[in-house]
C-alpha cells in the first residue's frame, strides 16, 4: 500500500482485509459496480452485455446480480473500514490536489458548498450506505472513488463513513 495517509486511517480505525464474499452487502455492491461498470475490470453476468456493442446493460436491480459476482469474484480480497466523517473530511482537505486546485478553501464545509453548486449530486439512500473507495496507490488523494457519496453523506450528517480499499 503506497498511500501512507490512507494506511494510517485504515490502521487507526481497525480496517480489515477479507474476501469479497465476506464484505458487507453494500460494500459488495459498491465494489462490483466500481469494478464491472465504472472500471470494466470485471465481467458482468452475460445476460447483461449487449451483443451489438459489448457494453453493459443494467436491465434489472443491480443487487440481483450479486450472487453471480460472489460466485465469480468471491475470493478476491478487499479491505473494509469505517471512518468518522470529521476525520475523513479533514484528511481530504490535506490532499495534494486540494491544496493545488482549491488553495482558497479553508475547510470541508466550503469545499462541500462549492461541490454542491457544481450540480448533479445524486441522493443516496441512508438505509444501506455504499462505501467510498480509499486511494491506496496514490499519495496525492484520499479517495479513489465515491465523491458524490461522501458529499451526500456529509449533507445528511452521516457520522461514520464506510470505506473499502485495495490491500
Cα separation, 17 vs 78, whole angstroms:
5
**Residue 13 cell numbers, joined:** 480505525
H or E segment to which residue 93 belongs: helix 85-93
Residue 72's pLDDT band (cuts 50, 70, 90): very high
Q: What is the pLDDT of residues 123-138, one digit of tens each?
A: 777 778 999 999 998 8
- Alpha-carbon distance of 146 to 114, in angstroms, equals 17
Residue 85 confidence (pLDDT): 98
If one counts the domains in the chain, the total is 1
CA distance 145 to 166: 12
Q: For residue 12, what is its C-alpha cell?
A: 487507526
> Residue 91: which pLDDT band, with cuts at 50, 70 and 90?
very high
pLDDT tier for residue 60 given thresholds of 50, 70 and 90: low
Q: How many residues does the chain have?
A: 167
The residue behind cell 441522493 is: 123
- Does the pLDDT of residue 118 top 90, yes or no? no
Domain that holds residue 25: 4-165
Q: What is the pLDDT of residue 140?
A: 83
Between 159 and 105, where is the model more confident? Answer: 159
Global confidence as pTM: 0.89
Identify the residue whose cell numbers are 475470493.
Answer: 75
Nearest partner of 154 among 101, 120, 119, 110, judged by Cα: 110
Task: Write down the pLDDT at residue 58.
Answer: 63
User: CA-to-CA distance for 85 and 152, rounded, in angstroms?
Assistant: 12
Amino acid at each position: 500500500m503506497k498511500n501512507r495517509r490512507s494506511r494510517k486511517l485504515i490502521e487507526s480505525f481497525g480496517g480489515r482485509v477479507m474476501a469479497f464474499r465476506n464484505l458487507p452487502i453494500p460494500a459488495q455492491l459498491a465494489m462490483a459496480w466500481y469494478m464491472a461498470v465504472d472500471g470494466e475490470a470485471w465481467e458482468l453476468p452475460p445476460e447483461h452485455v449487449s451483443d451489438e456493442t459489448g457494453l453493459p446493460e443494467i436491465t434489472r436491480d443491480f443487487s440481483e446480480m450479486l450472487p453471480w459476482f460472489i460466485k465469480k469474484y468471491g475470493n478476491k480480497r478487499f479491505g473494509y473500514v469505517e471512518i468518522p466523517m470529521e476525520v475523513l473530511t479533514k484528511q481530504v482537505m490535506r490532499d495534494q490536489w486540494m491544496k493545488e486546485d482549491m488553495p482558497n478553501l479553508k475547510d470541508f464545509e466550503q469545499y462541500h458548498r462549492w461541490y454542491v453548486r457544481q450540480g448533479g449530486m445524486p441522493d443516496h439512500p441512508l438505509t444501506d450506505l455504499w462505501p467510498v473507495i480509499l486511494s491506496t496507490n496514490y499519495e496525492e488523494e484520499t479517495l479513489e472513488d465515491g465523491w458524490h457519496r461522501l458529499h451526500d453523506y456529509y449533507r445528511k450528517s452521516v457520522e461514520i463513513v464506510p470505506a473499502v480499499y485495495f490491500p
